[in-house]
Amino acid sequence: MIALTLSALVLIGTPSCASKQNQNSKKPITFVPVTVEPSFKGGPTKFLEFIGNHIDYPQEAIEQGLEGKVYIRAIVKANGRLTQVKVARSVAPSLDKEAIRLVKKMPKWIPAKGLKGENVARPITFPITFRLLSPPKAKK
């Protein structure tokens, strides 16, 4: 049996800063102070529900008994979209690929708020934990 355990949503970014980058601009991101961090709509419970409903544990990872936490780094833009989705810490290529697929499939997030209440972009890092409940069956 396979299970996916997800750690509580952990936000890690530049302390108290967010980006004020133009939505269509390719200019470097600069960060400004924030009053509210970005979050998944519905909070950690909905985040875990989304992952649970959309996960596809790679068959190759199951057969190899691969488990672990894939840390994903992304930017929640001012419009709530996730961009620049990358693996910050890898477990295995197949699990990394699945974690990225899941994050790219996510709905818009609630963006960070700047000091004046405006939506601003913000980098985040969070883990997605892959865990098998039982070892894979040996091939004959």
Three state DSSP letters for 10-61:
CCCCCCCEEECCCCCCCCCCCEEEEEECCECCCHHHHHHHHHHHHCCCCHHH
pLDDT tens-digit series, residues 93-131: 999 999 999 999 999 999 999 999 999 999 999 999 999
pLDDT value of position 28: 63
Residue 119: inside a domain: yes
Residue 138: inside a domain: no
Number of domains the chain is built from: 1
Residue 80: inside a domain: yes
Quick check: 7 pLDDT over 60? no
Residue 140: inside a domain: no
Residue 137: inside a domain: no
pLDDT value of position 134: 73
Residue 87: inside a domain: yes
pLDDT value of position 17: 44
How far is 101 from 104, CA to CA, in rounded Å?
5
Residue 107: inside a domain: yes
Structural domain of 88: 2-132
pLDDT tens-digit series, residues 9-65: 333 343 334 444 444 556 666 667 899 999 999 999 999 999 999 999 999 999 999
pLDDT value of position 4: 42
Residue 51: inside a domain: yes
Q: Averaged over 77-85, what is the pLDDT? A: 97
Domain at 62, CATH number: 3.30.2420.10
Q: What is the pTM of this model?
A: 0.76
